Amino acid sequence: MDIEERGKLLFTGAVFAALAAWPAFSGAYGLDLVGKIMVYAIFALSLELLVGTTGLVCFGQAAFFGIGAYAVPLLAPGVEPASIAWLLPAAVIAAGLYALVVGALSLRTQGAYFIMVTLAFAQMAYYVVHDTPLGGGTDGIYLSAKPALGALIDLDRPLVMYGFTLGCLVAVFVLLALVGRSRFGRALAGIKANEQRMRATGFSTYPYKLAAFTLSGGIAGLAGFLFAVKDGFVNPELMGWHLSGAVLIMIILGGLGHLRGALIGAFAFALLQEFFKSEAIFGNFAKHWHLGLGLTIIASVALLPRGLVGLPGQWRARLVGRNASPNVIGAEVQDA
């Protein structure tokens, strides 16, 4: 293992260790905020599998997130807490099945057509819960009792909910890291680099892309399940196109092609939102927080083409260029 790989592992381990220690230093608000960001991080990781690993720009990821969320109150409408043992897999499977259907049809298109088809399917799911009694219309649905697993895991307790969310985040991160190192992950990377060449070597790329799409939808459903349980309420906005756009911004802001980038991007995006919404800092301008957030993201994309995850490399390159002597620079130019 080289120095760079060790650095990545140390950084990731430090992030998860900091998240594990966070409840000891934060109050109720901090616990709730970081818990929400971890849910978004899982959501961002689901899209990273498609965009960063496979090269499929999906603009309907919110549909799978929303289906996972709506499955919680729809499948457990009673006053008694439902068991996590069956409700969590049911939410993930429901989102995964819809992703399988959407992927089976949309993956027959490419480029802008693929983006539009995934958006169309997401809007269909949005209007089903928005305009029919199934999803409670614009009022949404409240969760009567948060699920539990005996006396051991009661998600109605904030600290238990936080720990459970962190455990899910670590599990998803490890799963995707293992996928990336597997034969399946290498095939997805090959599809992203040059799908035509992969077909020429004998790979049937469609099943690989469909499997990745379905897995991505299931992970997004897991994030939706956690969001619904944490808030105790779901509404059609969870399937809106703006949420698909927000999670896409997260992974671009963090750095495409890196699982660490999805983590960093989710935290950066959410914290920037909180910063620009602060009336203590911006006063009445806080009502226009979208403007400040948008300008910051534009500046970040312009100044950080590799995302936040590439920032240390940019600093290192600038320091090397600044400290190099003219003879060394001339030799590098001649070699190039």
Domain ranges of the chain: 12-288
Instruction: Name residue 332's amino acid.
Output: E
* Alpha carbons 166 and 147: distance in angstroms, whole number: 17
* Alpha carbons 135 and 137: distance in angstroms, whole number: 6
Both ends of the chain: CA-CA distance in Å? 29
Burial class (CB in 10 A: 0-12, 13-18, 19+), 146: buried
pLDDT at 334 over 60: no
How does residue 331 score in pLDDT terms, banded at 50, 70 and 90?
very low
Specify which residues 83 forms β-bridges with: 148
Per-residue confidence (pLDDT) for residue 148, from 0 to 100: 85
Specify which residues 148 forms β-bridges with: 83, 154
* Alpha carbons 148 and 88: distance in angstroms, whole number: 10
pLDDT at 329 over 50: no
The mean pLDDT value for 180-209 works out to 91
Per-residue confidence (pLDDT) for residue 139, from 0 to 100: 84
What phi-psi label fits residue 150: left (phi over 0), alpha (psi between -120 and 50 degrees) or beta? left
Q: Which CATH class is domain 12-288?
A: mainly alpha
Segment (H or E) for 7? helix 3-21
The two structure tokens encoding residue 267: 């935290």
13-22, 28-37, 77-86, 165-174: range with lowest mean pLDDT: 77-86
pLDDT at 111 over 90: no
Question: By percentage, how much of the chain surpasses pLDDT 90?
Answer: 57
Angle between helices 84-106 and 205-231 (to 10 degrees): 140
